[in-house]
Amino acid sequence: MMRTLDKYAAIFPVLVVYAVLFLLGLNMSGMWQLMATLLFYCALGQAFNIFLGMTGYVDFGYVAFVGMGTYGMAVTITSLAGTGLGGLTIIAGYIMALAFSGLLSLAVGAVALRLRGAYFAIATIGVNEGLRFLIEGTNLWGGSGGIIFTRQLNDILGKDASSALATFWADVLVLIIAVLAAITTIVYMRSKIGYALTALREDEDAAKVMGINVTMFKILAFMTSACFAGLLGATAWALKTPYVFPPEVFEIHYTIEAIIIVMLGGAGTLLGPVAGGLIYGIGKYVLSIVLPGFQLLIFAPLIIIIIVAFPDGVVGGIRNKFGHTALGRFIL
Amino acid sequence: MAALLRLENVSKRFGGIVALNQVNMEIQYGEFVGIVGPNGSGKTTLFNVINGVYFPDEGRVLFEDRDISRLPTHRRASIGLGRTFQIPRPFASATVRENVAVGAMFGSRGKETNVNESMLVAESIIERMGLSRHRDKKAELLTPVEKKLMEIARALAMKPKLLLMDEAMAGMHPGEIDRLVELLGGVAAEEEVAIVAMVEHVMRAVVGMAQKIIVLHQGEKICDAPAQEALNDPKVIECYLGYTPEEAS
């Protein structure tokens, strides 16, 4: 029992941060939206880290999985509206979101994960852009007109419930997804999966020689990460704002944000995406108030400075320093 | 008993270059074999074909009578094929213990060994290799010789039946070589590991330990004999020095 606790002790700081964000948002007036945004960044980082951090592969098309999750929920709600399934529709939407992002990641992973380094990154940009043009060009799911399903959501849940969903419960669901992603991360890290991913991240050929089926583990990490992205899309982009437009959900800007969050905090660490999400989210928010219009100009060099000071990310840097002390087991 | 590893007429070409030409060889259980040959003679290609990095263009590779010619590398590891590299390739950010444990987790005993058991296996092998005090160090912080020892430990943790060693002793001083040779001899005998060591420079290690030596030259096997005999073979001397002793006199 003690050993198991010790093994998973590193999850506690993550849970504490999430709890603090949640309670701050709940109890301070006007803070909920900021806390929800921070939670979204943390969740996005946590989900992306399972692939980017643990395998070392950079996916520039990551947002496509968030987008597919959004579409999964949107398509389900529009096609099941009027069937009287009520709340079950939302569950069906989540299943569809998982299916969309999971299947896309399986298809992309089975092909693109044969490429390494920059070639993989380029291929994934192509997937993201290609998907967007496919939807727009073939008029799939409303084409470039997108899907607006505010009315259907109101029909299914009732007006009050769907507005409570948009302003509160969707954010709580994001928090739950963030916690699930953190739990998945530590379970992976502590199992053979984590060791296989570390080995292939450091040296893929040597990992093969050790008996690791690198393709299988890469696809596993890719799909896990993509499924969490899909859940996030279905929640934060579909349930919270009941519309979806291709240029918005396939915007590469979100992928870049996710990469920055993971790298800032510490790729491959458990606490890293949380630290990265907080630094990025708070930094962006504060600068947009203090220096409106100039926030990106100031923020970019700040990010560069942090990355130069902490090449392994903030949490990576702290772990290098304090990893061997009594605090070490809480920093992962 | 059948041979542990058998190569039957194995050829491998890269474009017009024949890297391996109709090579036949056998390795017995628990045997120690040295693969010798000058630069470009096909030693590394031979290892890569045995290991599954390349598939042979012709011929077959048999491991315990099973045709593994087209088996991917990671599957070969799980049936008992281990390998170390000439330039060590540690998993740099992981500790020494984690590195070695990876071998136990995914090698031939991988299916029945969980993470905790693998750590215990790793600890006993690390102790045996004399790396105990570096156990919790990151692998990237080791010296080159320590990295080499760690890599051998990692390969042994896989519990291989056959261990391919690529220039394992290069860059070590004679004292270290003797120590390693003794250690390997002990482990090989105890665990019944056959070791195939590729050697370009450090003959000392091979002659001391090898039951037989296979000499490659321009992709062909030119000699397959006990150590002393092989090193005195005129063809071997010719390929290293460029002329036969008769011509010189």
Using CB atoms, which residue from B92, B103, B114 is nearest to A210?
B103
CA atoms of A72 and A95, how far apart (whole Å): 8
Run of H or E residues at A77: helix A63-80
Radius of gyration of chain B from its Cα atoms, rounded to whole angstroms: 18
Torsional class of A38: left (φ above 0), alpha (ψ -120 to 50), beta (otherwise): alpha
Contact across the interface for A209 and B105, Cβ inside 8 Å = no
Q: Is residue B224 domain-resident?
A: yes
Torsion (CA) B246, B33, B125, A10 in degrees, nearest 10: 100
Parse chain A into domains and list their residue ranges: 2-330
Amino acid, single-letter form, for residue B215: V
Q: Are residues B211 and B245 in the same domain?
A: yes
Q: State both tokens at B67.
A: 């045709």
The whole-number pLDDT of residue A250 equals 93
Q: What is the DSSP letter of A107?
A: H
Q: What is the pLDDT of residues A196-227, one digit of tens each?
A: 999 999 999 999 999 999 999 999 999 999 99
**Greater confidence, A209 or B178?**
A209
Query: Is A257's pLDDT higher than 70?
Result: yes
Chain A neighbors of B68, CB-CB under 8 A? none
Chain A neighbors of B77, CB-CB under 8 A? 208-212
CA atoms of A273 and A263, how far apart (whole Å): 8
Q: Is A293 on the interface with B (CB under 8 A)?
A: no
The whole-number pLDDT of residue B187 equals 80
Query: Is A173's pLDDT higher than 90?
Result: yes
Query: Is B87's pLDDT higher than 90?
Result: no
Topology of domain A2-330, CATH: ABC transporter involved in vitamin B12 uptake, BtuC (1.10.3470)
Contact across the interface for A210 and B107, Cβ inside 8 Å = yes
Query: Is B10's pLDDT higher than 70?
Result: yes
State percent of chain B over pLDDT 90: 47
Query: Is A45's pLDDT higher than 90?
Result: yes
Chain A neighbors of B147, CB-CB under 8 A? none
In chain B, DSSP finds a helix count (H) and a strand count (E) of 10, 10
- Which residues form the domain of B64? 1-12+29-69+161-249
Q: Is A6 on the interface with B (CB under 8 A)?
A: no
Q: Are residues B60 and B174 in the same domain?
A: yes
Strands B220-225 and B212-217, by their bridges, are: antiparallel
Query: Is B249's pLDDT higher than 60?
Result: no
Q: How many Cβ pairs within 8 Å bridge chains A and B? A: 76
CA atoms of B130 and B107, how far apart (whole Å): 22
For B81, the closest chain A residue by CA position comes to A209
Q: Which of A262-266, B134-138, B228-232 has the lowest mean pLDDT?
A: B228-232
Contact A313, A56 (CB under 8 A): no
Q: Are residues B62 and B123 in the same domain?
A: no
Contact across the interface for A209 and B94, Cβ inside 8 Å = no
Sheet holding B81-84, edge to edge: B81-84, B162-166, B194-199, B32-36, B212-217, B220-225
- From the CA of B126, how many Å to the nearest CA of chain A? 17
The whole-number pLDDT of residue A2 equals 62
- From the CA of A216, how many Å to the nearest CA of chain B? 11
Q: Is residue B206 domain-resident?
A: yes
**Chain B residues with CB within 8 Å of chain A CB:** 51, 53, 72-75, 77-78, 82-83, 85, 89-94, 98, 101-103, 105-108, 110, 114-115, 136, 154, 158
pLDDT range class, residue B7, cuts 50, 70, 90 = very high
Q: In CATH, what number is assigned to the domain containing residue B46?
A: 3.40.50.300
Q: Is residue B17 domain-resident?
A: no
Mean pLDDT across B72-86:
92
Using CB atoms, which residue from A191, A209, A268 is nearest to B77?
A209
CB-based burial of residue B39 (10 Å sphere; 0-12 exposed, 13-18 middle, 19+ buried)? exposed
Burial A183-210 (b: 16+ CB within 10 A, else e): bbbbebbbebbbbbbbbbbbbbebbbbb
Q: Is A292 on the interface with B (CB under 8 A)?
A: no
Q: Is residue B154 domain-resident?
A: yes
Residue for token digits 């098309």? A61
Q: Is A206 on the interface with B (CB under 8 A)?
A: yes
Answer yes or no: is the ipTM higher than 0.85: yes
Q: Which of B159, B185, B202 is the last residue of a domain?
A: B159
Using CB atoms, which residue from B72, B106, B114 is nearest to A210?
B106
Query: Is B69's pLDDT higher than 80?
Result: yes
Mean pLDDT across A145-171:
90
Contact A144, A249 (CB under 8 A): no
Best residue in A210, A214, A321 to probe B by mutation, most B CBs within 10 Å?
A210
Residue for token digits 């030119």? B222
Run of H or E residues at B164: strand B162-166
Torsional class of A30: left (φ above 0), alpha (ψ -120 to 50), beta (otherwise): left
Chain A neighbors of B92, CB-CB under 8 A? 202-203
Q: Which of B138, B159, B180 is the last residue of a domain?
A: B159
Residue for token digits 């692939």? A51
Radius of gyration of chain A from its Cα atoms, rounded to whole angstroms: 20
Q: Are residues B222 and B166 in the same domain?
A: yes
Contact across the interface for A199 and B91, Cβ inside 8 Å = yes
Q: Is residue B185 domain-resident?
A: yes
Based on the structure, what is the number of domains in chain B?
Answer: 2
Q: Are residues B46 and B147 in the same domain?
A: no
Contact across the interface for B74 and A199, Cβ inside 8 Å = no
Mean pLDDT across B172-190:
81
Using CB atoms, which residue from B83, B115, B136 is nearest to A209?
B83
Contact A234, A149 (CB under 8 A): no
Using CB atoms, which residue from A195, A208, A211 is nearest to B158?
A211
Q: Which of B159, B175, B203 is the last residue of a domain?
A: B159
Q: Which of B8-22, B25-39, B94-108, B160-174 has the lowest mean pLDDT?
A: B160-174
Q: What is the pLDDT of residues A111-149, one digit of tens each?
A: 999 888 889 999 999 999 999 999 999 989 988 889 999
The whole-number pLDDT of residue B248 equals 55
Using CB atoms, which residue from A203, A211, A324 is nearest to B74?
A211
Q: Is residue B65 domain-resident?
A: yes
Torsional class of A101: left (φ above 0), alpha (ψ -120 to 50), beta (otherwise): alpha
Q: What is the DSSP letter of B32?
A: E
Q: Are residues B149 and B165 in the same domain?
A: no
Contact across the interface for A192 and B105, Cβ inside 8 Å = yes
Q: Are residues B41 and B51 in the same domain?
A: yes
